[in-house]
Amino acid sequence: MARPRASLLLVPAAALILGGCSVNNSNTDLTAGKLLFIQKCGSCHTLAHAGTKGTAGPNLDQAFRQSVEENFGRNAIEGVVRGQIKDPAKFSAGHVGTAMPSNLVSGDDANNVAAYVASVAGKPGTDTGLLANAVPPSASSKPAVAVAGKLKLEADPNGQLSYTTTKAEAQAGKLTISLDNTSGVPHNVAIQQGTTGPVLAHTQEVPRGVETTSVDLKAGTYTFFCEVPGHRQAGMLGTLTVK
C-alpha cells in the first residue's frame, strides 16, 4: 500500500529567486520553526542542523547548497521554502509521486519553518544557543528492559526517526512487544534475527497509539527497527539482547 509522504520536491532555487520569491520577515521564531520542521518534515527530509535523516524527500542541505555558495541570500531561500509549503504542486513539475499536502503548516508556523530551513540549509556546523537545546536528544543509551515477558518501546515523541532507546533486553521465551507512538509520524516496530535475518514479528504501522506483537525468541541478538520506507536507513533501529 502506498503511504502518503510530506515531501518537498525542489526545483532549482535560482529560477524561483529570479521569479521574485523572496521575503524579508524579521518576526519569525527559529526555535519554533526547528521543532515544527522536525515534527512535520523531518521524516521525509535530511537537514543536518535539525538532526533529521529522512530519505523519502530531497536532502535540503544538498538542494540549497549551490544557492548558498552562489550567495542568493537566505531571505530568497526562505521565500522558496515558503512557496513550496503553500503550493507544492506548483514546484513538482516533472516529478512523480509527491503526496505533500498544501499548507502542511500555515500562517506563522509556515513562516517559522521556512525561516529555520533558510537559516541552516547547506550551512556547516551545528545549531548553537537556544536552537541547540530546542529538541531533547532523540535516543538514550539506557536499555528498555522486558518485565514479565513484556517489552515496551517508544517512538521519539518529537517526530525524529528514532526510538527513545537504541538497546533492549529480554529473557528467552514468549515476548510481547508494544510500540507507543505519540509523534504523529507513522511508525511500527519489527524484530529480526541478527541484522539481516527474516522478520519474525512486527506491529501495525500507526501515526499515534499503541500497537503490540508477540514472538517466541531464543537467546541471541536481534534487531528492532521501523519498517516504514526510509526510517531504518535514517537510524530508526536498535539491538535487542535475549538471554
| pLDDT of amino acid 135 | 76
When pLDDT is averaged across residues 115-127 and rounded to a whole number, the result is 92
The verdict on pTM exceeding 0.85 is no
Going across the sheet that includes 173-181, the strands are: 150-154, 173-181, 209-217
Q: Is the pLDDT of residue 121 over 90?
A: yes
Go through the domains of the chain in sequence order and give each one's CATH number.
13-132 (1.10.760.10), 144-242 (2.60.40.420)
Question: With 70 as the cut, is the pLDDT of residue 53 above it?
Answer: yes
Q: Residue 1: which pLDDT band, with cuts at 50, 70 and 90? A: very low
Q: Which of 90-104, 118-132, 180-194 has the highest mean pLDDT?
A: 180-194
Closest by Cα among 10, 236, 19 to 122: 10
Residue 147: is its pLDDT beyond 50?
A: yes
Confidence of residue 67 (pLDDT cuts 50, 70, 90): confident
E strands within 155-227? 167-170, 173-181, 190-193, 199-202, 209-217, 220-225
Tens-digit pLDDT profile for residues 26-43: 689 999 999 888 888 887
- C-alpha distances (whole Å) from 20 to each of 48, 94, 174, 186, 209 are 27, 22, 62, 36, 43
> What pLDDT is recorded for position 227?
96
* Rounded distance between C-alpha atoms, residue 37 and residue 108, angstroms: 13
pLDDT band, very low/low/confident/very high, at 19 (cuts 50, 70, 90): very low
DSSP H or E run through 76? helix 74-86
* pLDDT greater at residue 53 or residue 102: 53
User: What is the percent of the chain where pLDDT is above 70?
Assistant: 83
